[in-house]
């Protein structure tokens, strides 16, 4: 039963199983285990980034395609919800329309990019995605009448999803719409992740892996490689857009910095590589570690710097503003010691 | 299409053997194909040519391959045998000429499309999915044959028919015990066997083997050769076999064609081709007997 939900793709490592279960329990009970606005914020971001990173893994890890447009698709979903909520007014219908149109727009755009460039060399695809993504980012900040430009858009979502909606207390935690919103994000992320896990273990997913290994031979046994690559790009884009919609519903704000920035694209890459490419579960660990580090490394370093006060050099190194440097070091170390990512390492070291 | 009509090769000004009207069934073969099968041309190339810069690697080769026939393709290194295969299966685009499969022109079709129409190819240089298991390599072929590649919502493991069929093929090439190993962990000989297994799993109308036993040990090669001999029993198929070893050709081939500098130099029943002066002098002595 459980194996069927996981599409037969079990963690295949005891430590990995324990880690994944811990993540699942923590996320499922986050509002009660870690009360507080910031903790819930972090938990929701983790859920959304797991989906975003997993959808990128479908492309990079399973199909062997390098794309720099993943945040663009993420942004399409987010702006879909924002625009629909702005123009159709606060309603569930607006969320639905925005989400659906974002996903469709992402898939169509991916189809166009794919048909245009996947026939040629893989590096060409990477360059095209880079160009299109940069163009879209510029466009979004220029068209401020529509997109709000650099300031982005704030909008209203159904009241049941906002903190203003209160409905009692449980385990000493005030129940409000924010918690409903969190569980919407959590449930949707879980379903999307399991869907991706199913896709990579389907006959289609096997073909993608064959293409990654040897596209020449995949074609020679009768698979039309371009179609498969294009289909994978569309699927991955649509799921990224859905993650973007969730992010927009959660934040009630979209802007270029939160959804479209190249920095996020790099973060996604790091999360896939740290977690382990082509494993899906790597997306979970990568996103958890990275988002936690992003949110808490700074404050942790602040504390450490305070403790090290008076010692030479150390406070300087531990200055909270240097957190990115430490993240970089962490990244280099992890790639050096776990070239196959955390999941790859755990599976081989059974 | 009658054997003496459109499919007969263009007469070439050479003193060797020419493909005259085919001798009666079984003249050189071992499992005589039926009369009906022999009249069916499955694959034909017509003036097939490719130039790489100034070098003509395959030079106006016109040849027809009939159902129920095993044709050995011989010629010295660099003669253009592999390139001829590449033109037929579509890895290289022809500079001139046509390829037709079961009467249809396939010259402009993609590799995958040609494969889906029944053209199967095994490669001279092993060409597998190295990080996947042996079973998965064969499973992928059968999945392609069954057109199940776009199944998104079922797990691959749930298609047990495909897995069973893949295991059966592995059994035939004596690789069943390595089913779970990664391909990159296999010995060279076993990788060659898997290469053949993947072609057999495809179950095509036209089999193209490119030196299938090259680099295999003496006890491994017979497994593959026996399999090819078995395939000959099916009179619906045609087999093209690039091979250097004369004893193999003698036992398996119904017909030999000789390529030299990209051109068709001889074509006919094995006994005649081997005996022909031109072939004896030019190729057999140097290129073939010494292997
Ligand atoms: N893609 C290519 N570009 C340029 N030249 C090529 C290409 N492919 C093949 N050739 C040349 O065409 C000629 C025929 O090569 P081919 O591999 O077909 O020979 P072969 O008969 O298969 O030889 P062998 O017995 O060594 O396998 C060679 O001179 C080779 O260098
Ligand atoms: Mg060759």
A27-37 pLDDT, tens digit each: 999 988 988 88
For residue B59, give every residue at least 6 positions away whose Cβ sits within 8 Å of its Cβ, in sequence order, or none.
B49, B80, B261, B262, B263
Helix (H) or strand (E) holding B49: strand B41-52
Domain A2-349, architecture per CATH:
Orthogonal Bundle (1.10)
Helix (H) or strand (E) holding B259: strand B255-260
| Residue ending a domain, choose from B166, B182, B203 | B203
Do residue B140 and residue B279 come from a single domain?
Answer: no
Closest protein CA for atom 17 of ligand 1: B82
Q: Which residue has the tokens 């030079």?
A: B59
More confident residue, A4 or A187: A187
pLDDT at B29: 40
Do residue B237 and residue B279 come from a single domain?
Answer: yes
| Residue ending a domain, choose from B203, B236, B254 | B203
Q: Which two tokens stand for residue B3?
A: 């054997």
Are B144 and A220 an interchain contact pair (Cβ–Cβ within 8 Å)?
Answer: no
Distance (Å) from CA B81 to ligand 2 centroid: 5
Do residue B287 and residue B170 come from a single domain?
Answer: no
Do residue B242 and residue B136 come from a single domain?
Answer: no
Indicate the SS3 state at residue B66: strand
Q: How far apart are CA A252 and CA A82, in angstroms?
A: 8
Q: Which two tokens stand for residue B148?
A: 């199940």
Determine the distance in angstroms separating the CA of B128 from the nearest CA of chain A, rounded to an integer.
7
B59-90 pLDDT, tens digit each: 999 999 999 999 999 998 899 999 999 999 99
CB A334 within 8 A of CB A274: yes
Model confidence at B284: pLDDT above 60: no
| Residue B260 beta carbon below 6 angstroms from any ligand 1 atom | no
Do residue B220 and residue B274 come from a single domain?
Answer: yes
Report the domain count for chain B.
2
A222, A224, A232, A238: best to mutate for the B interface, most B CBs within 10 A: A222
Do residue B273 and residue B234 come from a single domain?
Answer: yes
Q: Which two tokens stand for residue A128?
A: 């095209």
pLDDT confidence bin for B13, thresholds 50/70/90: very low
Q: For chain A, say whether B136 makes contact (Cβ under 8 Å).
A: yes
Model confidence at B42: pLDDT above 70: yes
Do residue B54 and residue B193 come from a single domain?
Answer: no
pLDDT confidence bin for B36, thresholds 50/70/90: low
- The proportion of chain A whose per-residue pLDDT surpasses 70, expressed as a percent, equals 100
Site to substitute for ligand 1 among B51, B58, B77, B78, most atoms within 8 A of C-beta: B78
Closest CA to B236 of B101, B116, B68: B68
| Residue ending a domain, choose from B140, B170, B203 | B203
More confident residue, A197 or A141: A197
Gyration radius (Cα) of chain A, Å: 21
pLDDT confidence bin for B282, thresholds 50/70/90: low
B140 in a domain, yes or no? yes
pLDDT at B143: 96
DSSP state of A253: E
Complex-level ipTM = 0.88
Q: Which domain holds residue B245?
A: 17-26+40-118+205-291
Closest protein CA for atom 10 of ligand 1: B57
B176 in a domain, yes or no? yes
What residues of A are in contact with residue B143 (Cβ under 8 Å)?
Answer: 203, 206-207
CB-side neighbour CA atoms (13 Å) of B46: 15
Closest protein CA for atom 12 of ligand 1: B57
Site to substitute for ligand 1 among B48, B49, B51, B52, most atoms within 8 A of C-beta: B52
**CATH code of B224's domain:** 3.40.50.300
B244 in a domain, yes or no? yes
B65 in a domain, yes or no? yes
Do residue B225 and residue B81 come from a single domain?
Answer: yes
- Lowest pLDDT segment from A68-72, A299-303, B217-221, B254-258: A299-303
Do residue B157 and residue B209 come from a single domain?
Answer: no
Do residue B77 and residue B199 come from a single domain?
Answer: no
Nearest to A202 among B127, B144, B155 (CB): B155
Nearest to A221 among B132, B140, B155 (CB): B140
What residues of A are in contact with residue B116 (Cβ under 8 Å)?
Answer: 222
pLDDT at A350: 46
Nearest to A206 among B115, B123, B136 (CB): B136
Are A219 and B111 an interchain contact pair (Cβ–Cβ within 8 Å)?
Answer: yes
For residue A137, give every residue at least 6 positions away whose Cβ sits within 8 Å of its Cβ, in sequence order, or none.
A72, A75, A256, A260, A261, A262
Domain positions in chain A: 2-349
Do residue B198 and residue B209 come from a single domain?
Answer: no
Closest protein CA for atom 18 of ligand 1: B80
B5 in a domain, yes or no? no
B109 in a domain, yes or no? yes
| Residue B287 beta carbon below 6 angstroms from any ligand 1 atom | no
B87 in a domain, yes or no? yes
Do residue B110 and residue B209 come from a single domain?
Answer: yes
Closest protein CA for atom 3 of ligand 1: B52
B7 in a domain, yes or no? no
Determine the distance in angstroms separating the CA of A276 from the nearest CA of chain B, rounded to an integer.
15
| Residue B79 beta carbon below 6 angstroms from any ligand 1 atom | yes
pLDDT at A200: 97
Helix (H) or strand (E) holding B119: strand B119-121
């Amino acid at each position: 039963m459980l194996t069927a939900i996981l599409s037969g793709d079990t963690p295949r490592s005891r430590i990995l199983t324990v880690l994944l279960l811990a993540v699942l329990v923590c996320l499922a009970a986050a509002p009660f285990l870690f009360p507080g606005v910031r903790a819930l914020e972090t938990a929701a971001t983790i859920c959304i980034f797991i989906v975003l990173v997993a959808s990128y893994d479908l492309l990079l890890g399973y199909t062997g395609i390098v794309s720099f447009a993943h945040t663009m698709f993420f942004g399409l979903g987010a702006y879909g919800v924002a625009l629909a909520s702005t123009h159709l007014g606060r309603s569930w219908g607006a969320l639905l329309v925005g989400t659906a149109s974002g996903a469709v727009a992402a898939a169509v755009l991916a189809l166009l990019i794919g048909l245009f460039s996947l026939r040629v060399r893989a590096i060409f695809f990477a360059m095209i995605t880079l160009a299109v993504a940069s163009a879209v980012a510029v466009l979004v900040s220029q068209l401020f009448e529509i997109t709000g430009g650099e300031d982005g858009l704030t909008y209203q979502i159904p009241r049941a999803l906002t903190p203003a909606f209160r409905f009692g207390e449980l385990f000493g935690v005030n129940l409000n719409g924010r918690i409903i919103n969190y569980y919407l994000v959590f449930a949707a992320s879980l379903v999307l992740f399991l869907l991706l896990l199913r896709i990579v273990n389907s006959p289609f997913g096997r073909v993608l892996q064959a293409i990654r290994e040897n596209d020449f031979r995949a074609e020679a046994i009768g698979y039309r490689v371009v179609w498969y690559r294009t289909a994978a790009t569309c699927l991955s884009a649509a799921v990224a857009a859905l993650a973007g919609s969730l992010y927009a519903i959660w934040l009630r704000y979209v802007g270029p910095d939160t959804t479209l920035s190249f920095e996020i694209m790099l973060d996604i890459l790091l999360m896939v590589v740290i977690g382990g490419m082509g494993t899906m579960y790597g997306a979970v660990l990568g996103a958890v570690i990275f988002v936690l580090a992003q949110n808490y490394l700074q404050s942790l370093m602040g504390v450490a710097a305070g403790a090290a006060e008076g010692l030479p050099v150390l406070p300087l190194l531990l200055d909270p503003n240097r957190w990115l440097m430490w993240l970089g070091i962490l990244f280099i170390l992890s790639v050096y010691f776990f070239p196959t990512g955390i999941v790859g390492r755990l599976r081989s070291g059974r | 299409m009658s054997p003496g009509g459109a499919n007969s090769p263009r007469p070439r000004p050479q003193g060797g053997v020419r493909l005259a009207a085919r001798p009666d069934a079984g003249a050189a073969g071992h499992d005589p194909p039926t009369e009906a099968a022999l009249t069916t041309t499955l694959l034909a190339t017509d003036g097939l040519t490719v130039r790489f810069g100034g070098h003509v690697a395959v030079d106006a080769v016109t040849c027809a391959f009939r159902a129920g026939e095993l044709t050995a393709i011989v010629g010295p290194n660099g003669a253009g045998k592999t390139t001829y295969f590449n033109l037929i299966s579509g890895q290289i685009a022809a500079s001139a000429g046509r390829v037709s499969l079961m009467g249809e022109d396939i010259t402009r079709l993609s590799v995958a499309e040609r494969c889906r129409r029944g053209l199967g190819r095994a490669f001279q240089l092993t060409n597998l999915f190295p990080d996947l298991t042996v079973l998965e390599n064969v499973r992928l072929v059968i999945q392609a044959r069954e057109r199940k590649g776009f199944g998104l919502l079922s797990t691959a493991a749930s298609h047990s028919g495909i897995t069973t069929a893949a295991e059966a093929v592995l059994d035939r090439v004596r690789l069943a015990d390595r089913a779970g190993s990664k391909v990159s962990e296999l010995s060279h000989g076993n990788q060659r066997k898997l290469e053949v297994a993947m072609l057999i799993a495809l179950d095509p109308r036209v089999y193209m083997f490119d030196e299938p036993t090259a680099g295999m040990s003496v006890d491994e090669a017979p497994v593959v050769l026996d399999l090819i001999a078995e395939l000959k029993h099916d009179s619906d198929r045609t087999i093209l076999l690039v091979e250097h070893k004369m004893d193999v050709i003698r036992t398996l081939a119904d017909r030999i064609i000789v390529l030299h500098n990209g051109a068709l130099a001889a074509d006919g029943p094995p006994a005649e081709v081997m005996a022909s002066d031109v072939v004896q002098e030019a190729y057999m002595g140097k290129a073939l007997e010494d292997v």
